[in-house]
């Protein structure tokens, strides 16, 4: 397995996952949906990150015949009862911009003191093979909400999220610096390692019928 399709049309997410996979050094090639054709994309109807990641990966594997990766990621704010959660990308409305989503979250915690502004990014990555085999991994990045937007890198909620151990938002980090600590970086590296293990198992002595 040296080529997988990533079930997204988001160019920033595709670039991020390619960068993480390249850094892992296992030669895994990640292609985007725009490179393999168009198919009816399923609605994300599950109530968990894992469920939505599987929905997207299953559809991509079935439509392309390739091993398919998909992630579902989001922000959990403790004082908002861990919302937005799976509605992270649609928190301010079905077609809301990243900026609108960030403004709404900041407004909702406007009077919350620093010790209670704890939050985390969550990422579930699913791998679905054409034979129906499925793997799911989940990782998090703990941190807190800033009081205002800051920084110009990253995307989504990066300008209002300060990771644990940092004193600036994710939007101030370099791409490589963010990858090293991010929920998505940890989840993708773990999945790339699992793919490498599967590849070794499929070409080892037992797989070849040797001793």
User: Residue ranges for the binding site for Mg(2+)?
Assistant: 43, 72
Spatial distance between the Cα atoms of 91 and 102, rounded to a whole number of angstroms: 9
Binding residues for substrate: 8-13, 73, 155-158, 178, 183-184
Closest CA to 70 of 54, 88, 48, 47: 54
Binding residues: 8-13, 43, 72-73, 155-158, 178, 183-184
Would strands 3-6 and 29-32 be described as parallel, antiparallel, or unpaired? parallel
Contacts of 15 (CB under 8 A, 6+ apart): none
Element holding 200 (H helix, E strand): helix 183-203
Catalytic residue numbers read 72
List phi, psi (to 5°) of 31: -110, 150
């Amino acid at each position: 397995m040296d080529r997988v399709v990533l079930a997204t049309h988001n160019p920033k997410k595709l670039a991020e996952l390619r960068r993480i996979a390249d850094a892992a050094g296992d030669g895994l090639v990640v292609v985007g949906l725009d490179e393999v054709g168009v198919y009816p994309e399923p609605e994300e109807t599950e109530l968990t990150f894992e469920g939505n990641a599987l929905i997207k990966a299953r559809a991509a594997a079935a439509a392309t015949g390739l091993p398919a990766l998909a992630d579902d990621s989001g922000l959990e704010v403790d004082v908002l009862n861990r919302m937005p959660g799976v509605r992270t990308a649609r928190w301010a409305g079905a077609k809301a911009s990243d900026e609108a989503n960030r403004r709404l979250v900041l407004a909702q915690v406007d009077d919350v003191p620093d010790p209670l502004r704890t939050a985390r990014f969550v990422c579930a990555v699913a791998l679905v093979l054409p034979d129906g085999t499925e793997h799911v991994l989940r990782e998090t990045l703990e941190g807190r909400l800033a009081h205002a937007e800051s920084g110009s890198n990253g995307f989504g909620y990066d300008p209002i999220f300060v990771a644990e151990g940092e004193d600036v938002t994710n939007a101030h980090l370099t791409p490589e610096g963010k990858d090293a600590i991010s929920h998505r970086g940890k989840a993708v590296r773990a999945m790339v390692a699992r793919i490498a293990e599967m590849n070794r198992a499929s070409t080892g002595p037992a797989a070849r019928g040797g001793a």
